[in-house]
Amino acid sequence: MAVPVAAVRNVTKRFPGVVANDGVSLEFNAGEIHVLLGENGAGKSTLIGILAGMQQPDEGEILIGGRPVRITSPRASLELGIGTVFQHVLLVPSLTVIENLMLGGPWWRNLLRGPALARFRELSQLLGVEIDPDAQVGRLSLGEQQQVEIMRALWRGEKVLILDEPTSMLTPQGVKDLGAVMKRLRDKGVALILITHKLVEAYELGDRISVLRLGRLVGALPPERKRAMSEQEVTDAVIEMMFGTVAQHERDAEILVGRGRRTHRARHVDRAGPPRLQARGLATQATRGACPLRGVDFDLWPGEVLGIAGVDGNGQKHLAEMLAGQRAAASGTILLDGRDITADAVPERRRRGVRYVTDERLGEGTVGAFSVATNLVLKEIGAPPFFRRGVSDWDHIHDHARALIKRNDIRTPSEKTPVAKLSGGNIQKVLLARELNAEAGVVIFNKPTYGLDLQNTRLAHERILAGADQGLATIVISTDLDELLEISDRIGVMFQGHLAGIVENGPDVERKVGLLMTGAKAA
């Protein structure tokens, strides 16, 4: 049998308090797509970091073509022919495509476009894509940027290509294109490593599947076994590897399988009455690094969940901030129960029942160094009953906090613990506890489950739906389409600052939303 192009043997990597990789051994073969599956914290990213030269293993070795090597820096990794496409785009937006690809060349040499362009054409052909080498990267679509990233990863050799959650930022069409590129590269003899937590992708693209859990390799499906199985069998086998017995974690598995077994619960929303929230022609000023709004209209009824989909950076942040009162409107009006609240600031909107759960849980949402208790009254600083004549009433604040901690199952050593010490899921619970109290009428969630593990994702979804069932008008902004398909009643798509269209959740909604995400008109 042929020697694997790359392999890790008994790799262990410890961080303070965690073993990120625990004696992991894996082989990567030429002409094979090897899928690494696992939840957050399973150790996928650490393993990639080790292969990419960002981190050093504490124990174990890395073999390239059968020879043990040490990968001490990103440069060393590239020179061994290992290219990595990270989860977040690592291109310089102000430079052109070809300049980005030339980046990292020997600085004492002349910058020569000729040879670079030749290599560019070679790789374009290999990938089967067409991109203008002189286009500024910041102007390309995310899908195109990712293709440039793949070229960058292959630039100095095309032995191993690592893709870390490459589909998370893409439109459905972009995902399809990426799959085609990956299969093409596999057929040309590249060893591909695909990191994902989506089972569907693993089944569709992977030749070999390995499953990591809590830093250990807990199971693998070699190609000959995987080929002999149906999608259902593969899914069941992998879920069993990831969670042990299936019955115990049925819900987790359902979320994981995503669209395969989506559980959209059709809810009844009464749209006969007047809408709770009306947005008319909302627009904002452009700011550095964020897409402004250019005329957004929608109506939102009590008890309804309106999902806002779209590729990141199409105005979602401005929409959320504007509805919350944190960003001034350039034009347009917001009506709450028919009353104009456009000019109202945050405290006034909060008093009227508008709540905002930000995507920046630590930073915008909470003050990390402050205690859980203080963060729970953060939006009522100075107001009675927690503050009397401007002086904090600590007994009252701490009682309030203890009650909320208990009711919301916030796992914290005490109410006086700084909130930054909590896990992401628990910080999210603090935010939800603060925002979703009895007086809430409209809630805006911005990426409510971003970075959360499955269990906390499920809890957050239940919380959102429970709120809606009690009559809250709810907006959920997310880049995870599967999430929106699961919990929304209607889905709107943001595209370049416009709300490109709003469609009812139901059969065929995915195709419609996919079309809207690329800028096509509502189908």
Task: Locate 120 and state its tokens.
Answer: 């560019």
Q: Name 293's Cβ contacts closer than 8 Å, sequence gap at least 6.
A: 282, 283, 284, 315, 318, 319, 322, 332, 497
Least distance (Å) between residue 92 CB and other proteins: 5
Q: Are 415 and 371 in contact (CB under 8 A)?
A: yes
- 33 or 98: CB nearest other proteins: 98
Q: Is 356 strand, coil or helix? A: strand
Q: How far is the CB of 75 from other proteins (least distance, A)?
A: 3
CA atoms within 13 A on the CB side of 1: 6
Cβ pair 404, 398 in contact under 8 A: no
**At closest approach, how far in Å is the CB of 152 from other proteins?**
7
Question: Each residue of 12-28: b (16+ CB within 10 Å) or e?
Answer: ebeeeeebbbbebebbb
111 touching other proteins, by CB under 8 A: yes
| Stretch of 60-68, 107-115, 196-204, 293-301 contacting other proteins, by CB under 8 A | 107-115
Nearest residue to 18 (alpha-carbon basis) of 48, 40, 3: 40
209 and 234 Cβ atoms separated by less than 8 Å: yes
- When the beta carbons of 49 and 206 are compared against other proteins, the nearer one is 49
How far is residue 114 CA from its own chain's centroid? 38
Choosing from 65, 66, 68, 104, the residue that interacts with other proteins (CB under 8 A) is 104
Q: Which stretch binds other proteins (CB under 8 A): 95-103, 117-125, 270-278, 448-456?
A: 95-103
- Output the smallest distance, CB 91 to other proteins, in A: 6
Binding mask 113-152 for other proteins (x = CB under 8 A): ---------------------------------------x
Nearer to other proteins, 110 or 230 (CB): 110
Instruction: Using DSSP bridges, classify how beta strands 305-309 and 490-495 pair: parallel, antiparallel or unpaired.
Output: parallel
Q: Say whether residue 54 binds other proteins (CB under 8 A).
A: yes
Residue closer to other proteins, measured from CB, 136 or 408: 136
Residue 63 burial by CB count (10 A; 0-12/13-18/19+): exposed, middle or buried? Answer: middle
Q: Does 507 bind other proteins (CB under 8 A)?
A: no
DSSP per-residue letters across 317-355: HHHHHHHHTSS--SEEEEEETTEE-TT--HHHHHHTTEE
Closer to other proteins at the Cβ: 169 or 410?
169
Window 74-93: contact mask with other proteins (x via CB under 8 A): xxxxxx----x-x-x-xxxx
User: Mask of contacts with other proteins, 418-457, x by CB under 8 A?
Assistant: ----------------------------------------
Q: Is 213 in the site for other proteins (CB under 8 A)?
A: no
Smallest distance from the beta carbon of 76 to other proteins, in angstroms?
A: 8
Does the footprint of other proteins cover residue 106 (CB under 8 A)? yes
Task: Tell me the DSSP string of 5-49.
Answer: SEEEEEEEEEETTEEEEEEEEEEE-TTEEEEEE--TTSSHHHHHH
Residue 472 DSSP SS3: coil
Report the residue number, 55 or 314, with the smaller CB distance to other proteins: 55
Please select the residue that binds other proteins; options are 4, 49, 143, 275, rule is CB under 8 A: 49
CA distance 227 to 32: 13
| Residue 157 binds to other proteins (criterion: CB under 8 A) | no
260-289: which residues touch other proteins (CB under 8 A)? Answer: 288-289
Out of 20, 48, 102, 410, the residue judged to bind other proteins by CB under 8 A: 102
Query: For other proteins, which residue of 1, 16, 109, 395 counts as binding (CB under 8 A)?
Result: 109
Tell me the backbone φ, ψ of residue 329, rounded to 5 degrees: -85, 140
Q: Give the position of tokens 């992401």.
A: 424
Closest CB to other proteins among residues 139, 261: 139
Pick the piece of the chain touching other proteins (CB under 8 A) from 18-26, 105-113, 244-252, 253-261.
105-113
Interface with other proteins includes 23 (CB under 8 A)? Answer: no
Tell the smallest beta-carbon distance from residue 503 to other proteins (Å).
33
Which amino acid would we find at residue 281? Answer: G
Told to check if 363 binds other proteins by CB under 8 A, we report no
Contact between 407 and other proteins by CB under 8 A: the answer reads no
Distance from C-alpha of 71 to C-alpha of 518, rounded to nearest angstrom: 40
Spatial separation of the C-alpha atoms in residues 513 and 48, rounded to whole Å: 32
Q: What is the DSSP string of 208-230?
A: EEEEEETTEEEEEE-HHHHHTS-
Structure tokens of 375? 């963060």
Nearer to other proteins, 52 or 484 (CB): 52
Report the interface residues with other proteins, using CB under 8 A: 49, 52, 54, 73-79, 84, 86, 88, 90-95, 99-100, 102-111, 152, 288-289
